[in-house]
Structure 1
Amino acid sequence: MQLLRVNSNNELVVPPFECAWLSDKSQQLNDDVGCIAFEVKGGPSLFSWKDPNPSQGTRHIGLAAWDKFVAYRNIRMHKAACCTTEGQAHDRTATQVASLEQLCRHSVVTNLTVQSVCDGVQVAHLLEPALDDMAGCLLTFLSQNLESVLAQQSHDFVMLPLPVLTALLMNPSLVCEEVKLYEAVLMWTQHQKFDAQQTDEALSQLLPLIRFPLMSLEELQPHAPLRAAIAVESKRHVRGMAGVDSLAAARFQRRLSPAAMPLMYMCNGDHNGVCHYIGTAYGQQKFVNPALSGRLQVTASSPSCRFTDPKAVVSGHFLRNNAAGQRRDGGTWWRVDLGEQHRLMCNYYTMRHDASPDYARSWALQASTDGTVWVDLRQHADDCTINMAGQYASWPVTGHAARRPFRFFQLLLTPAAPASGKANGRVFSLSYLEFYGYFFRETPPSQQ
């Protein structure tokens, strides 16, 4: 049994379900009624008690807590104070003090980390429904940081119970690539002590929650058993619509998270794009050219000069003469770096021509996470959309690559289609550029 002790701060530390025995005659009560006042971790509290079976020379006060150690200080006993007006006032004050359980819940939620969230989710699941409110916060945190958990705490992830994993896959805050979710489900299954029937039952519950139609052929290629359950029709992955219609429909929709800020295209020249959003300090101030303030960077294939001003293409102003020239390696491009803490899942983009007659006809919108390896988001071959000075043009961005967030975006001039019989220009004229989609902003470590 753990005994009472006084720590260095002159505080009485009371282990769970221990009692403080009072045998001093000066502390004994004659009317069997009294109250004890003390502070618990700095918060004023008042507890009253009555000895139901008084014995000669001994009175006791029970002090209990569900925490391992609780510190009490300024312990005072008042004779018959609970019956006085002062004691009643103390009782009213005591009801306003947060309970130890509430303080612990708040501490757990506000100090969540990738290392502790899986353990917290398991405890909340075991104590359902008492901790349902806290379980929701824990599950949301796990959903938004699942990739980090899988990379750093996979041994804790595989210990999650089946109901928690099911709720995780259905959580709207889930941020993770579908192929990683599928691999995580397989890893979880392999670490469970299931027989063949239990494994089949678990997979039949979990696999319908994976959005296989959003996975590319390259991602599906290593999983031969899985391909047998997926039909390919017109280069689109389609799975049998078993179960409720809402679940089947969700399989073709991107997982959208509260962690992403939707920046939706409305019309040409609107102020809803990512460059304008970053330029307003995420909607907190008036617009300032983000390239001038250093919030993002814009570069061109040719050096800055009188007729090439990369920073101006995100200013929102019309430029009469602004063109990127051809590099020695033959590339002609405009490039935007959203910044180290920024990512965009692009679904639309807008460009505006300057006043020159050099209209772009063949180019590609590309994206990258590191500025070195680029993937095509949309290709334009002999596109005659732009045919006037100062004209706006916007296009949707679709495909598997468009479902991933990127830091870098560029417009790259490409050779004209052979069948067109037209030569593409060596300059890429551009007056304005904007991107739309789902914006992810990472918090710098110094601010976490």
Structure 2
Amino acid sequence: MTWPDEAVADGSAMTPAHPSRIALFEAVRADRTGPVATRLLGLAHADSPVVRRAALDLLQSLSHEQPWPEAVDAAVARFDDPDEEVRRRAAWLVGHRGRPDLVLSSLGELADPVVRTVLAGALGPTAAHLTGDGLASVRFLAHVETLRAAPPARWQSLDDALLDDAREAAHHLEDTGRIWGEALYGLGREHDTYTLVARLLDDPGTRDIGADLAREACHDWRIAPVRLLPLLVRHHSQKATPALGRALTTAMISEAAMRIHGALLAAVPVTPTTRARRVTSTATAYDSASAAALLAARPVGITRLARAPDIFGALLDAGPLTFRQAAQLYNLTFSRPGRSQADCAPLWLRHAGPRALSRVLALMTPHLADYAVGEHYLAGLARMGGHARLALPAVTALIDRRTRIPVNDSTRDAEMRIDESLLASALSTRRAILAPTDPPSPAGLFPA
């Protein structure tokens, strides 16, 4: 066995940043008709199904960068592979990298349900005309695509068609509930989603689909865990399945659901989601002398400063800032959005006094729903207390969202946790703003 055969067979070509993978990609990019590219195409027909799967995965990745007709041809040749996962990968490559006419003709000519389902899924909206197909999974995908663009008058009939095909479709279609949930979310059909979850959970044959749809709903709608947790607990208690367990674990991320329905989980053998613990800082507190010394060693144009609230807070507690210190605080506050700005904006308000209030709030409120720094801006508003009352509409709008904030993280559960954390911060901030507070003080003496 020679390279690249060894790299594909031992998995190193599939390992991100591995030298073998880098070398293989560079060789194919340099010459798609060269010996390495030719050998990789040949490995799609290797004796080992594991090697064939890996080769098709690599061909798919390389075809993503630029069209590679030979890779598509190699995948077409594996449509009748004895290994289902090879057929699935081959269909995915053809469906997403092949010509639309090739995908449609293959759908019409082939009988294998795995290949046909993957090809239909790759068609997107074009699949809508396949509602009369003989394969339930293809019909399901066609009805979903039809539903995405359908007027409300057609929703009920399309829901019924999807319910009729759901059980059989799930034999060949992965993520049936998730796919359906995405379409429902796109149409804003929150309460219809809960109704469909209940119907699917009541039928043992579609219970796992209902669990997956419930999980998708929890990822999309903030109130979904509160609405669905009792249903999930009841069905999980009757007969536990992995899908129900996953849905329960997701629903338990919601603080509101756990506060309202947490007692229902006492007899349910589900491991609750792990919540990250905040590490308590053990750093030495700053006094005015140490804070002044630290800032004296930093440039005036500083735009980032760890523990800025402690440093400038110590100085403001001791008296007005020097001109240089005020310039540093100004740059930290107004140079760029981010954590430093969120930390320093309330400090600038303490320094400049009430006349800076509108400018500071205008700086902070646009970033409250930013999943990366929103919590820091909310914490800043909370420190301002009642002086941030003009920001209440923005804070309340974040609290009153029906849907999750857009987040890009490793998993949907992780994205949901970020939204839950931001919601908790917003609620805490609103309480802090509405708490009794003293009237504003003159400039330079604004309270902490």
Bigger strand share: 1
Larger radius of gyration: 1
Q: TM-score range by the shorter chain?
A: 0.3 to 0.5
Bigger helix share: 2
**Structure 1 length normalisation: TM-score?**
0.32
> RCO greater where, 1 or 2, for CA within 8 Å and sep 6 or more?
1
**Structure 2 length normalisation: TM-score?**
0.32
